[in-house]
Structures are given as C-alpha cells and as structure tokens.
Amino acid sequence: QATTVKAQMFINSFGSLNAANMDYSIDVFLRQSWVDPRLRYNLTRPHFTITDPRIRKKIWKPDTYFNNVKDAKVHQVTMPNILIRVHKTGQVLYSMRITLKLACNMQLQNFPFDAQQCFTSLASCK
C-alpha cells in the first residue's frame, strides 16, 4: 500500500534569476510528513527528535526530487540541517534546508517588455 506523504516548502530567499543560463536560485526548507506504523510507541513523551545519523539512515524516507533541478545543496553548517521527529502515533516529520538552482525556460522574444514564470517542480518516484 502506498504511503501518503504531505509536503510543504518554505522559501527563505529567492536568489538570482539568470537569463543567460535560464535558471534561478532559492533557499528553502522542505518539510515532509507521513505515518509509519512501525514507529508507534506508548511512552509519555509526545515525540522524539532523531539526532543520531546512524538511526536517521534506518528510517524510511520518501524519494522526493525536484524535476527541474540543475544543482542542489543540503546545508551542513554547523551540522547537517536535517530534522527527523517521530511522534508516538508513528507520524514522522522530515525537514531539511536546501539551496536549489532550478531551470526556468524563459520566453525572451518580447524583452524587455516580457514577464517570466519560473516553477519549482517537486515529484516522487513511483
């Protein structure tokens, strides 16, 4: 059975729009959440934040990707900007800070009297 993953993206900054390379940069927090019944527990704590990288690797994560990505970087200063929080119901919150360079197919025929629309395309493998 497929797992339903909810995704949110908070844009921290919108960087340069490069007409010559037809791309733009954004700095985002990508937050995804889903329920993994294998992670349910009956303790009094409402949630745990997983900080150990070995344990983080063992938790299933969705195969989310950006269709129009040219370059991407997960922030690592002063430690990896990744959060995994597991709630007692098995709900998992997975958040990461990413800087993206994304392709934008610009139509410049009417330059300088044009308007461009650049999209961020988020997908998952099926």
Judged against a pLDDT cut of 80, whether residue 72 lies above it is answered with yes
Contact 29, 23 (CB under 8 A): no
Judged against a pLDDT cut of 80, whether residue 126 lies above it is answered with no
Mean pLDDT of 72-85: 86
| DSSP one-letter code for 5 | -
pTM: 0.85
Helix (H) or strand (E) holding 25: strand 23-35
Mean pLDDT of the chain: 90
Mean pLDDT of 17-36: 93
* Chain segment 56-67, per-residue pLDDT in tens: 999 999 999 999
* Chain segment 86-114, per-residue pLDDT in tens: 999 999 999 999 999 999 988 877 777 87
pLDDT of residue 105: 85
